[in-house]
Chain A
Amino acid sequence: MILTQKGREFTCGSARFHDSASSHLEPGSKIFIRFRVAPLDQEFLALLDTGATWSILDWEVAELAGLHPESGQRIRYSGRWGTIEGSVVPCLFRLPADEGESLEVEGSVFVSTDWRAGNFIGYRGFLERIRFALDPGENRFYFGPCD
């Protein structure tokens, strides 16, 4: 199913999300969406966190994807976990659809050798140019390009 808004396509695809995958910093249900990061060809799960300024990749994922802090601007990133040092680096994300079309996004992500607490999809550098919607009845994450 493709969502529309005033007759125009709002999303291009969707995929089921998982909402109880792990404790992931704190207990409770969270929304985990599927993603891929080039050049790795396996899918991973990331916590959808619209309150996070940046997306973050677990260091093991970032390292194997060749995303090293030395290639970006050093910054300090503060969140509910405290403040960590790392870099924001360009990367190529894919949101795989199990219905409709998948989306590939040239974005940016925060990477830090200190970060071993999973993957987060945040707003700047990723979600800010994507339309998205959630159907908690079907556990379905809808997405599409924001023209």
Chain B
Amino acid sequence: MPRALSIAAEENSSQAASYSDLIRDHVDQGQILSARRLLEIAFEQGLASPDLDLWQRTLAPPKVVSVEASPAPADRSREFRWLEKESQALRGQWVALDGDRLLAAAESLKAVLAQLNRMVPRPRALVHRID
């Protein structure tokens, strides 16, 4: 690489790193709009780096990608009543509920989902940890 290009690439990399640090400072302080603006400025200046690309993915505003009717909408009122009245005996555990039926309970979410996976038909449960 010619020396002039090499110097330009180093400067680009250095400036991109500075912007990345600045963006992180803003994000750490919860100043997300400012962080997004800094990222825009960095790109407007032609800076590029994998770190800036990762910030772009991290800070991208959310996007609604679909709005559709649920094939089998579930009213979870019975699950909520169960949580209110029956859950205290299972504090610290993950529970899976279908209506007012307790389908599974375990100390780990992984164990609860494994129990659900073994059921036929596989239920669409409400899963929650009882604090």
Contacts and interface: CB of A to CB of B under 8 A. Distances in A.
Interface size class of chain A, counting residues whose CB lies under 8 Å from the partner chain: 35 or more
Nearest to B27: A75
Interface of A: 12-13, 15-16, 18, 20-25, 34, 40-45, 53, 58, 60-61, 64, 72-78, 87-90, 92, 96-108, 117-118, 124-126, 128-130, 144-146
5 contacts: A20-B84, A21-B80, A43-B76, A87-B58, A90-B60
Contacts of B28: 75-78
Contact of A16 (B63, B75, B109, B124): B75
A21 B126 CA distance: 12
Most chain B CB neighbours (cut-off 10 Å) among A21, A24, A92, A125:
A21
Given A96-B73, A118-B131, A145 B108 contact: no
- The secondary structure that dominates the B interface is mixed
B65 to A, nearest CB: 5
B55 A73 contact: yes
A107 B61 CA distance: 7
A21 B58 contact: no
Contacts of B120: none
Interface in B23-73: 24, 27-28, 30, 32, 51, 54-55, 57-70, 73
Contacts of B70: 96-98, 101-102
A72 B60 CA distance: 12
A34 B128 CA distance: 10
B125 A101 contact: no
A124 B64 CA distance: 14
B131 A24 contact: yes
A101 B64 contact: no
A53 B67 CA distance: 25
Contacts of A24: 131
A33 to B, nearest CB: 10
B64 A72 contact: no
B80 A53 contact: no
Contacts of B127: 42-44
A75 to B, nearest CB: 5
Contacts of A105: 62-65
Given A22-B130, A45-B128, A145 B62 contact: no
Contacts of B67: 12-13, 101-104, 144-145
